[in-house]
């Protein structure tokens, strides 16, 4: 029983990470229809920036996190501008390939600067608390709490602010939005900035728990895609739910079935579900 | 009766684009579908050609129900169409486009192609023949090996019509074949359609906005408005029909 | 004029084939030979990838996965005593069959979903290869894979594949086979069907092309050849590991293909030979190599989507147009 609860806790924590990363991706893929394949690598870069600021300049954890988020927001805009915008009138296949170029640059750039081996970010909250027999480290609790806060903030942003509603408008009808004077390019930039920033936040929160490495974002990025497709392109609730479900699946499956194959669950599920419902679980039919 | 449409309805997220549309297309006739913008004409073609799925209703081709068939199968059964925004394979050449139009009449599949079987050779000769014939018919023989992207709009329009007829279809759906063309070009396309009808006796069903052209070309006209059939008959009948006139806001055609 | 162009092409092909046949007599360096052999193998990979990507317009990121299925199948079968010459076609068919199984559900969806699904599948293959220790040997992989057993040719006697020369001819033969198949498929009404799918899927359906069948077929055929290349690779190199099925390989081939020129038959071969050589030459740049390639990939897809071969054919076309115009002007001036 204890093992079960422990896995649940771990699953919720990992699920929080997945939820935020998937959320960022669904904004870009669902709303702008850009398959940002490099999303996982932006996440990875966010973690490395945090590490760099803490390691090189001795900044505190929270300051490094904030800086990383801000810098990654700008990186997101840069990526949109250089990698995707030139291809907006071309078939989606081209954007995919361009994305692959971007992720190669990011991954190898990090390797060149910091080396291929994993690095450690010192844990700012090393304590643990025991509840119902579950060991909960403060950092993990922090991840869960911050994730919920981030998700709520994002929902408010999308529903209540002008910028957020503009993004929704573009999502629903790109041409219509342009006709009413919405600068679609600016919306793309902002959406990408948010997407990258949230990914960076998630990465910095999780980084002290695990090691960071240049490849830490690769699988995560792919899982995010699986979550987004299964949860429905552009559906924020789908991304969140999907993230938590996957986190729990992996934790429970890894704990009870096989640790080695847990990464594969998301991918197998995607192929299986696409076989049954080609538009994804909550997808809309493309006319 | 070649094509029959029975109670066809199409909803788009609650909006009824077509409601209980029923009519028939007779063999070898030229039928025109007219109506104001948004009346549902292109949706109708989409449903007949299979690119859209009907919410309810049935479609019959030669008494055979085709309502659930995928688009490429309907094409093989003899439904050809053109699109409002000229749809061509712009990465390919004129001859390639025409050859693709004829492809559904060829039988050679993967293995025949791989081993250059006698059937494959026969298909190749027949295709070349048909392509040359059609090129001549639509008047694009000189531009045969040009890329589609260098053609003028009129030439592209002729090519898309050529692609539609090369496969010897039973019925050709022309979606605003003269859309965006000036008067002279419109006459040329109208002549081409007449030529096709006379030479091959193909059933033609066209959507058009230019009433004058329609009146001179069509044998029968069906008028749609707000997704429903509001009138059906010969050009004479339609010209004097008050409902039709009303639909076009007083644009009365003087016969 | 079209006839003249065609003839020129045929003689060019012949020249290249002759050159390829006499190559072993021109090369003495073992290392260079190895590069050439790998170039041929990778050409099979890029040519087959080209069928899905360049001609049918679908992005499959599982290509290395099928290469891996081919290698592991041949490795395991030859270890059980099956002759290479039986194992190879079986392995290729297995790769094709797996492609069919994966393609059936995933090709019904949008292009980007398909790409991601293939990516996931490719990863599944490499994870399974790394963890199914009893069968695949885990991360250490399989070693000591036998070379292809000697072939008996009537009149010449047994030809063993111990020497690099023999191995080269083996790979060359399969490359030529792949080229022949691709050529026949692509330069046909069938191939036009693929390109129609790539250009405008909706219109393709409207003119009677079964787009699903077309995509599935190009996928399965491509995977057959990926498996074939993988099987040959396993036998010639002698040892394989999960990195044989890694996504990095797929990305590499993608770069070779795009730089060389997708949607041509020469482009993939050009890319598969030239790019690794360049990569080799700039070893001193180390980590920066891949960064340069990432940048190159983006630049190429944005500004030179048809790669080197595309640029060359553009140049040729422009030159020809100039020539024709010049002739026309001379005629006008004279007449």
Q: Is residue A168's pLDDT more than 80?
A: no
Q: Categorize the per-residue pLDDT at A237 as very low, low, confident or very high, splitting at 50, 70 and 90.
A: confident
So what CATH class is B1-78+171-255? Answer: alpha beta
> Would A149 be classed as within a structural domain?
yes
The distance of C156 to chain A (nearest Cα, Å) reads 49
In 3D space, the residue among B20, B23, B43, B2 whose CA is nearest the CA of residue B233 turns out to be: B23
Which residues between 35 and 54 in chain A have a beta carbon less than 8 angstroms from any beta carbon of chain C?
35
- Between B72, B91, B113, which is nearest C209 by CB? B72
Q: What are phi and psi for residue B106, nearest 5 degrees? A: -90, 155
Q: Is there a contact between C205 and B71 if contact means CB atoms under 8 Å apart?
A: yes
Q: What contacts C201, CB < 8 A, 6 or more positions away?
A: C211
| Greatest Cα-to-Cα distance within chain C, rounded to the nearest angstrom | 82
ipTM summary value: 0.89
| Mean pLDDT across C257-283 | 87
Residue C93 · residue C39 · CB < 8 Å: no
pLDDT over 70, % of chain C:
97
The distance of C39 to chain A (nearest Cα, Å) reads 22
DSSP track, C234-272: HHHH--B-GGGG-HHHHHHHHHHHHHH-TTSSHHHHHHH
Q: How far apart are CA B51 and CA B175, in angstroms?
A: 14
Residue A222 · residue C123 · CB < 8 Å: yes
**Cβ–Cβ contacts within 10 Å for residue C165, how many?**
14
The beta-carbon contacts of B182-191 under 8 Å, at least 24 apart in sequence, are B185/B153, B185/B154, B185/B157, B186/B210, B186/B213, B188/B154, B189/B154, B189/B157, B189/B158, B189/B161, B190/B216, B190/B217
Q: Are strands B15-25 and B3-12 parallel, antiparallel or unpaired?
A: antiparallel
In 3D space, the residue among B149, A97, B116, B72 whose CA is nearest the CA of residue C257 turns out to be: A97
Q: Is residue A146's pLDDT more than 70?
A: yes
Q: Is there a contact between C302 and A87 if contact means CB atoms under 8 Å apart?
A: yes
Radius of gyration of chain C (CA): 21
Q: How far apart are CA A22 and CA A40, in angstroms?
A: 10
3-state secondary structure of C68: helix
Q: How far apart are CA B188 and CA B139, in angstroms?
A: 11
In 3D space, the residue among C325, C145, C171 whose CA is nearest the CA of residue C235 turns out to be: C145
Q: Is there a contact between B100 and C204 if contact means CB atoms under 8 Å apart?
A: yes
Using left for φ > 0, alpha for ψ between -120 and 50, and beta otherwise, residue A285 falls in beta
pTM: 0.88
| Subunit partners of chain A (3 or more CB pairs within 8 A) | C
Q: Give me the count of residues in chain C.
A: 335
Q: How far is CA A178 from the centre of its chain?
A: 28
Domain count, chain A: 1
Q: What is the pLDDT of residue A286?
A: 40
Q: Which residue of B has its CA nearest to C200?
A: B89
Q: Categorize the per-residue pLDDT at C2 as very low, low, confident or very high, splitting at 50, 70 and 90.
A: very low
Residue where the block lists tokens 């600016």: A186
Distances (CA, A) of A209 to A46, A131, A199, B255, C198: 15, 19, 16, 84, 46
The distance of C186 to chain B (nearest Cα, Å) reads 9
Give C112-141 pLDDT, tens digit per residue: 888 888 999 999 999 888 888 888 888 888
Give chain B as a 3 state SS string: CCEEEEEEEEEECCEEEEEEEEEEECCCCEEEEECCCCCCHHHHHHHHHCCCCCCEEEEEECCEECCCCCHHHHHHHCEEECCCCCCCCCCCEHHHHHHHHHHHHCCCCHHHHHHCCHHHHHHHHHHHHHHHHHHHHHCCHHHCCCEHHHCCHHHHHHHHHHHHHHCCCCEEEEECCCCCCCHHHHHHHHHHHHHHHHHHCCEEEEECCCHHHHHHHCCEEEEEECCEEEEEECHHHHHHCHHHHHHCCCCCCCC
Radius of gyration of chain A (CA): 19
Q: Which residue of A has its CA nearest to C291?
A: A105
Q: How far apart are CA A25 and CA A27, in angstroms?
A: 5
> Would A170 be classed as within a structural domain?
yes
| Mean pLDDT across A241-248 | 90
Q: Where are the beta strands (DSSP E) in chain C?
A: 151-153, 157-159
Q: How far is CA C254 from the centre of its chain?
A: 9
> Would A249 be classed as within a structural domain?
no
Give B18-52 pLDDT, tens digit per residue: 888 999 999 989 999 988 877 788 889 999 999 88
Q: Categorize the per-residue pLDDT at C99 as very low, low, confident or very high, splitting at 50, 70 and 90.
A: very high
**Span of A26-35, A187-196, C23-32 with lowest mean pLDDT:** C23-32
Distance linking the first and last C-alpha atoms of chain C: 22
| Domain range summary for chain C, segments of one domain joined by + | 29-246
pLDDT over 90, % of chain A:
34
> Would A196 be classed as within a structural domain?
yes
Q: Helix-strand-coil percent breakdown of chain A, rounded to 5?
A: 75, 5, 25
Residue B135 · residue B127 · CB < 8 Å: no
Which residues between 261 and 280 in chain A have a beta carbon less than 8 angstroms from any beta carbon of chain C?
261, 263-264, 266-268, 270-272, 274-276, 278-280
C106 — contact with chain A (CB < 8 Å)? yes
Q: Is there a contact between C188 and B127 if contact means CB atoms under 8 Å apart?
A: no
Helix (H) or strand (E) holding A239: helix A236-256
| Mean pLDDT across B77-82 | 92
Residue C108 · residue C211 · CB < 8 Å: no
Give C3-38 pLDDT, tens digit per residue: 444 445 667 778 888 888 888 887 778 888 888 999
Give the mutation candidate from A41, A78, A87, A97 for the C interface (greatest C CB count, under 10 A): A97
CA angle C181, C186, C191 (to 5 degrees): 125
- Between C116, C123, C294, which is nearest A229 by CB? C116
3-state secondary structure of A211: coil
Q: Is there a contact between C109 and A103 if contact means CB atoms under 8 Å apart?
A: no
* Beta bridge pairs of residue B16: B11
Q: Categorize the per-residue pLDDT at B201 as very low, low, confident or very high, splitting at 50, 70 and 90.
A: confident
Using left for φ > 0, alpha for ψ between -120 and 50, and beta otherwise, residue A133 falls in left
Q: Is residue B16's pLDDT more than 90?
A: no
- Domain span at residue A140 reads 16-217
Which residues between 180 and 219 in chain C have a beta carbon less than 8 angstroms from any beta carbon of chain B?
181, 184-185, 188-193, 195-196, 198-200, 202-211, 217
Q: Which residue of A has its CA nearest to C118?
A: A271
How many alpha carbons lie under 13 Å from residue A109 in its C-beta half-sphere?
A: 15
Q: Is there a contact between C119 and A226 if contact means CB atoms under 8 Å apart?
A: no
Q: What is the pLDDT of residue A283?
A: 53
A287 — contact with chain C (CB < 8 Å)? no
Could you tell me the two tokens for A248? 């729990």
| Domain range summary for chain B, segments of one domain joined by + | 1-78+171-255, 91-168
Which residues in A52-61 are b (16+ Cβ under 10 Å) and which e? bbbbeeebeb
Q: How far apart are CA B125 and CA A245, in angstroms?
A: 59
Q: Which residue of B has its CA nearest to C197?
A: B89
Which residues on chain B are in Cβ contact (under 8 Å) with C202? Answer: 51, 87
Q: Is residue C310's pLDDT more than 90?
A: no
* Beta bridge pairs of residue A117: none
CB pairs under 8 A between A and C: 128
Q: Categorize the per-residue pLDDT at B248 as very low, low, confident or very high, splitting at 50, 70 and 90.
A: low
Give A95-123 pLDDT, tens digit per residue: 888 999 999 999 999 999 998 888 888 88
């Amino acid at each position: 029983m204890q093992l079960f609860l422990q896995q649940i806790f771990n699953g919720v924590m990992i699920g929080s990470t997945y939820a935020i990363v998937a959320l960022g991706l669904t904004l870009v893929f669902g709303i702008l229809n850009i398959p940002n394949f490099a999303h996982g690598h932006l996440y990875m870069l966010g973690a490395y920036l945090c590490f760099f600021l803490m390691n090189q300049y001795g900044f505190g954890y929270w300051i490094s996190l904030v800086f990383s988020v801000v810098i990654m927001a700008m990186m997101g805009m840069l990526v949109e501008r250089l990698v995707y915008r030139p291809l907006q009138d071309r078939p989606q296949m081209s954007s995919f390939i361009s994305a692959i170029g971007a992720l190669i640059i990011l991954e190898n750039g990090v390797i060149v600067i910091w080396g291929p081996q994993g690095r450690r970010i010192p844990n700012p909250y090393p304590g643990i608390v025991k509840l119902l027999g579950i060991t909960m480290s403060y950092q993990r609790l922090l991840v869960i709490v911050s994730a919920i806060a981030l998700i709520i903030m994002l929902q408010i942003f999308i529903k209540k602010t002008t910028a957020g509603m503009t993004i929704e408008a573009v999502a629903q009808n790109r041409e219509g939005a342009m006709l009413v004077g919405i600068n679609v390019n600016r919306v793309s930039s902002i959406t990408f900035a948010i997407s990258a920033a949230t990914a960076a936040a998630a990465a910095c929160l999780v980084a002290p728990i695990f090691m960071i490495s240049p490849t830490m974002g690769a699988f995560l990025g792919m899982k995010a895609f699986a979550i987004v497709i299964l949860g429905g392109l552009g559906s924020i609730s789908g991304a969140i739910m999907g993230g938590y479900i996957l986190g729990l699946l992996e934790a429970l499956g890894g704990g009870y079935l096989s640790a080695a194959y847990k990464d594969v669950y998301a991918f197998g599920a995607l192929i299986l579900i696409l076989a049954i419902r080609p538009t994804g679980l909550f997808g809309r039919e493309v006319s | 009766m070649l094509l029959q449409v029975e109670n066809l309805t199409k909803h788009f997220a609650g909006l009824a684009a077509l409601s209980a549309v029923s009519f028939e297309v007779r063999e070898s006739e030229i039928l025109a579908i007219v109506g104001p913008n948004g009346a549902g004409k292109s949706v109708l073609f989409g449903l007949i050609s299979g690119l859209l799925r009907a919410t309810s209703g049935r479609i019959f081709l030669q008494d055979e129900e085709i309502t659930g068939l995928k688009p490429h199968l309907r094409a093989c059964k003899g439904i050809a169409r053109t699109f409002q925004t000229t749809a061509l394979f712009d990465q390919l050449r004129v001859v390639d486009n025409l050859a693709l139009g004829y492809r559904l009449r060829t039988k050679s599949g993967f293995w025949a192609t791989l081993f250059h079987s006698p059937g494959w050779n026969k298909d190749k000769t027949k295709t070349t023949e048909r392509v040359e014939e059609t090129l001549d018919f639509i008047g694009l023989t000189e531009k045969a090996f040009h890329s589609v992207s260098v053609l003028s709009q009129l030439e592209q329009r002729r090519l898309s019509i050529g692609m539609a007829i090369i496969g010897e279809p039973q019925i050709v759906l022309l979606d605003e074949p003269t859309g965006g063309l000036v008067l002279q070009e419109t006459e040329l396309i109208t002549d081409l359609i007449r030529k096709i009808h006379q030479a091959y006796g193909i059933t033609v069903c066209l959507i058009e906005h230019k009433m004058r052209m329609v009146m001179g070309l069509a044998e029968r006209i069906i008028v749609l408005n707000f997704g429903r059939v509001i009138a059906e008959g010969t050009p004479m009948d339609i010209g004097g029909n008050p409902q039709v006139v009303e639909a076009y806001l007083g644009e009365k055609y003087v016969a | 004029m079209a006839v003249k162009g065609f003839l020129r092409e045929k003689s060019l092909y012949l020249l290249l084939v002759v050159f390829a046949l006499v190559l072993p007599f021109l090369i003495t360096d073992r290392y260079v030979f190895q590069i050439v052999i790998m170039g041929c193998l990778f050409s099979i990979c890029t040519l087959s990838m080209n069928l899905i990507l360049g001609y049918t317009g679908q992005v499959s990121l599982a290509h290395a996965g099928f290469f891996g299925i081919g290698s592991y199948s041949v490795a395991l079968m030859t270890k059980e005593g099956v002759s290479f010459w039986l194992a190879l076609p079986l392995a290729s068919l297995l790769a094709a069959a797996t492609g069919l199984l994966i393609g059936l559900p995933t090709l019904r969806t949008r292009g980007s979903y398909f790409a991601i699904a293939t990516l996931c599948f490719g990863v599944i293959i490499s994870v399974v290869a790394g963890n199914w220790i009893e069968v695949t040997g885990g991360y250490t992989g399989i070693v000591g894979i036998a070379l292809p057993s000697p072939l008996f040719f009537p009149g010449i006697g047994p030809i063993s594949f111990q020497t690099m020369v023999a191995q080269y001819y083996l790979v060359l033969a399969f490359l030529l086979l792949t080229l022949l198949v691709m050529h026949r498929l692509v330069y046909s009404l069938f191939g036009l069907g693929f390109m129609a799918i790539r250009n405008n899927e909706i219109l393709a359906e409207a003119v009677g092309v079964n787009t699903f069948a077309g995509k599935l077929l190009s996928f399965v055929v491509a995977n057959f050849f990926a498996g074939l290349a993988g099987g040959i690779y396993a036998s010639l190199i002698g040892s394989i590991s999960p990195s044989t099925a890694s996504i990095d390989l797929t990305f590499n081939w993608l770069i070779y293909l795009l730089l060389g020129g997708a949607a041509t038959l020469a482009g993939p071969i050009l890319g598969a030979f030239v790019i690794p050589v360049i990569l080799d030459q700039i070893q001193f740049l180390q980590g920066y190599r891949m960064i340069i390639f990432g940048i190159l990939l983006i630049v190429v897809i944005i500004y030179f989507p048809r790669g080197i071969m595309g640029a060359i054919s553009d140049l040729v076309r422009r030159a020809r147009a100039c020539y024709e115009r010049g002739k026309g002007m001379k005629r006008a001036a004279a007449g």
